[in-house]
Amino acid sequence: MSAAGVTLIVPGRNAARTISNCLEAAIPLVGHDGLQEIVFVDDGSTDETPRIVERYPVRCLKLAGGGPGAARNAGWRSAETPLIWFIDADCVVEPDALRLLLPHLDASDVAGVGGSYGNIEADSWLARLIHEEIRERHLSMNADVNYLGSFNVIYRRDVLESLGGFDEEHFNGPGAPGAEDADLSYRIVAVGHRLRVEPRALTGHYHPTRLKSYLRTQRLHGYWATRLYLRHRGMARRNSYASFWDHVQPAVAVAAIAGMPGLAAPPFRFLSPVLLLVLLLLQLPMTGRLLRRTKNWQMLWFAPLGMARAMARGIGMSHALLRSIPDMLRSRQQ
């Protein structure tokens, strides 16, 4: 597969804190395993990112701020190689990541293959919890999947061309995490291609270290995921990364919050406490898996973190549903 040729696309916006480490890890890989070029797509940065990138031997494209989907599309459309490798600007690729990913593409019906995360912020309790959950999910996935994140993934260029690449209209959040990568995965699988995951192929990641910023990101995830599943309704039950019960949690959290004003009313006095208990119970399977694998009692903190995350996602979900009501009404009238 190395002879096929690979272009690495790194989209970024205001990535001054991480882009040097990202590029310094990736540049030594050029010339190995078919990697021919690195393209950085600056999606309207207002910090020092463009000046930092100028120091490195990479090709730079500049956009006005169309979001991560638009940045990735601009990157792969400017490339000439048959394979396109995407990593994010806050990721630091491991030296063997590309070598581990490529063999999966020896099968002609495999359209893409993705890797997993390492944890750069190992000193942060929050980052460790976030990382170990993601790692647990990746390790438990089957090799064939229907979802790949874009933080470390290779796609065939002809498949991107045939499907129009990442959605830039419905699931693309300018300046924020969207759901354009999940949407692309679902569309690829829907037309009969296979996707694979290789958990050994790692990119280190700067996981959040502050709870407030993490919950803000999760609120945005809840918003975009809701819009995503209104389009891909079959995936709302479960996908390769998340189960039905994962998808239920934001709704349970919203119902618990909504029930709080009725605590004093006799018929609904216990509704909110019961729903909060249900939400806590839904955290226990993952908490147990993390404890068993890591042998680290700090993983017990995953339960309250998962509840807080579900509430943040639930707020985002509610926002998306409210914004979708006019569209639903118009579609029924047509």
Q: Does 203 share its domain with 266?
A: no
Q: Are 92 and 21 in contact (CB under 8 A)?
A: yes
Indicate the average pLDDT of the chain.
92
Q: Does 307 share its domain with 197?
A: no
33: left (phi over 0), alpha (psi -120 to 50) or beta: left
Q: Does 257 share its domain with 167?
A: no
Residue 3 has pLDDT above 90, yes or no: no
Q: Does 9 share its domain with 62?
A: yes
Dihedral in degrees, nearest 10, Cα atoms 239, 242, 246, 251:
-50
Q: What is the pLDDT of residue 260?
A: 77
Q: Does 169 share its domain with 93?
A: yes
**pLDDT per residue over 151-166, tens digit each?**
999 999 999 999 999 9
234/330: higher pLDDT: 234
**pLDDT per residue over 175-184, tens digit each?**
566 789 999 9
Q: Does 12 share its domain with 159?
A: yes
Residue 320 has pLDDT above 50, yes or no: yes
Q: Does 254 share its domain with 201?
A: no
Q: Are 7 and 79 in contact (CB under 8 A)?
A: yes
> Per the structure block, which two tokens stand in for 46?
């207002």
> Per the structure block, which two tokens stand in for 327?
């569209």
Percent of residues, the chain, with pLDDT higher than 70: 93
Q: Does 161 share its domain with 267?
A: no
Range of the domain at 310: 244-333
Q: What is the pLDDT of residue 1?
A: 43
Domain boundary among 209, 234, 262: 209
**pLDDT per residue over 38-69, tens digit each?**
999 999 999 999 999 999 999 999 998 888 99
Bridge partner list, 119:
205
- Asked if the structure places residue 214 within a domain, the reply is no
The closest of 25, 152, 4 to 95, measured between CA atoms, is 25
- Asked if the structure places residue 53 within a domain, the reply is yes
**pLDDT per residue over 216-226, tens digit each?**
999 999 999 99
Q: Does 154 share its domain with 37?
A: yes
E strand or H helix at 93: strand 91-93
Domain CATH code at residue 136: 3.90.550.10
The tally of domains found in the chain comes to 2
Residue 266 has pLDDT above 90, yes or no: no
- Asked if the structure places residue 308 within a domain, the reply is yes
- Asked if the structure places residue 194 within a domain, the reply is yes
Residue 249 has pLDDT above 80, yes or no: yes
Domain boundary among 186, 209, 232: 209
Range in 129-133, 196-200, 231-235 with the lowest mean pLDDT: 231-235
Domain boundary among 156, 190, 209: 209
- Asked if the structure places residue 169 within a domain, the reply is yes
Q: What is the pLDDT of residue 271?
A: 85
Residue 70 has pLDDT above 50, yes or no: yes
Tokens 């495999």 found at: 110
Residue 309: other Cβ atoms inside 10 A = 25
Q: What is the pLDDT of residue 327?
A: 63
- Asked if the structure places residue 219 within a domain, the reply is no
Q: Does 94 share its domain with 178?
A: yes
Q: What is the pLDDT of residue 258?
A: 85
- Asked if the structure places residue 292 within a domain, the reply is yes
**What's the pLDDT band for 334 if we cut at 50, 70, 90?**
low
